[in-house]
Amino acid sequence: MRLIKVKNYEDMSQKVAEMMMEKIRESNKINLGLATGGTPKGTYKKLVEAYEKKTISFQHVTTFNLDEYVGLAPNDPNSYHYYMNESLFDHVDIQTSNTYIPNGIAEDLKEECVQYDHLIKISGGIDLQILGIGQNGHIGFNEPGTSFESGTHIVKLDESTINANARYFNRLHDVPTHAVTMGIQSILQSKEIILMVSGEEKSNALQRLLNGEVTEDFPASALKNHPNVYIIADEKALSSVFVS
């Protein structure tokens, strides 16, 4: 894992957008793995700004999102479908048919999971995966205890994740209890991974990731088994971290 230190959220967003654009520009066809949550919002904003300045095109880009809440329809403002349309897809020239997000209202959710992994595989795999991290070390919605061998699957969300994500919902009660998420193995199959970490509330997780052991109790630690991971972290996220 290579750590890149940046000053703040703005700089992290700029840096990651630049890294993504470099990859997009140097390829004729690219599969991006995308994340949601507060962390990548600024990066998507930078990508939209670059598109508006005509310095980037998404016509040859295919995207696979990490996860979706079970039970939320794509037009639900709290769904990750809605988030992606609003934050990125509606504002750039990506072809809608090239954007994939797990379907949280699929009739057969288990089959949806199998098909999602299959789709990623037949599309040639993910070239660059963007990740955020939960305070408990989750990546995607892979909660502590998730097998490192896992493919896309249905998860019951930890109470701490429900509480942390409640800030995006009107009421705590509205936060779904389950989600569909790409598994740890699905994530590790990406050729390159960028983990974004910003803010003091993530500093303990970052400390554990950088200095702790590899264990299924801390899902992000699986990234240590991947040869090509960049961590872009800001000063607040690094505030509990001892780095030389």
- Report which of 219, 18, 57, 201 is spatially closest to residue 138, judged by C-alpha positions: 219
Under rule CB under 6 A, residue 152 binds ligand GLP? no
Nearest distance from C-beta of residue 173 to ligand GLP, angstroms: 17
Active-site hit among 31, 65, 67, 112: 67
Radius of gyration, CA atoms only, the chain: 17
In the set 51, 116, 141, 218, which binds ligand GLP (CB under 6 A)?
141
Nearest distance from C-beta of residue 47 to ligand GLP, angstroms: 16
Is residue 138 part of the annotated active site? The answer reads: yes
Under rule CB under 6 A, residue 165 binds ligand GLP? yes
* C-beta separation of 62 from 32 below 8 A: yes
- Report which of 157, 166, 145, 243 is spatially closest to residue 197, judged by C-alpha positions: 243
Under rule CB under 6 A, residue 33 binds ligand GLP? no
Under rule CB under 6 A, residue 136 binds ligand GLP? no
Under rule CB under 6 A, residue 67 binds ligand GLP? yes
Under rule CB under 6 A, residue 104 binds ligand GLP? no
Of all residues in the shown chain, the one whose CB is closest to ligand GLP is 132
In the set 99, 161, 186, 203, which binds ligand GLP (CB under 6 A)?
161
Under rule CB under 6 A, residue 134 binds ligand GLP? yes
Active-site hit among 112, 117, 143, 234: 143
CB of 133 or CB of 232, closer to ligand GLP: 133
> Residue 55 corresponds to which tokens in the numbers above?
């310095």
Under rule CB under 6 A, residue 37 binds ligand GLP? yes
> Residue 45 corresponds to which tokens in the numbers above?
């904003």
CB of 57 or CB of 192, closer to ligand GLP: 192
Under rule CB under 6 A, residue 35 binds ligand GLP? yes
* C-beta separation of 31 from 127 below 8 A: yes
Under rule CB under 6 A, residue 36 binds ligand GLP? yes
Task: Kindly list the residues in this chain that would bind ligand GLP in the complex (CB under 6 A).
Answer: 35-39, 66-67, 132-134, 140-141, 161, 165
| Residues carrying an active site annotation | 67, 136, 138, 143
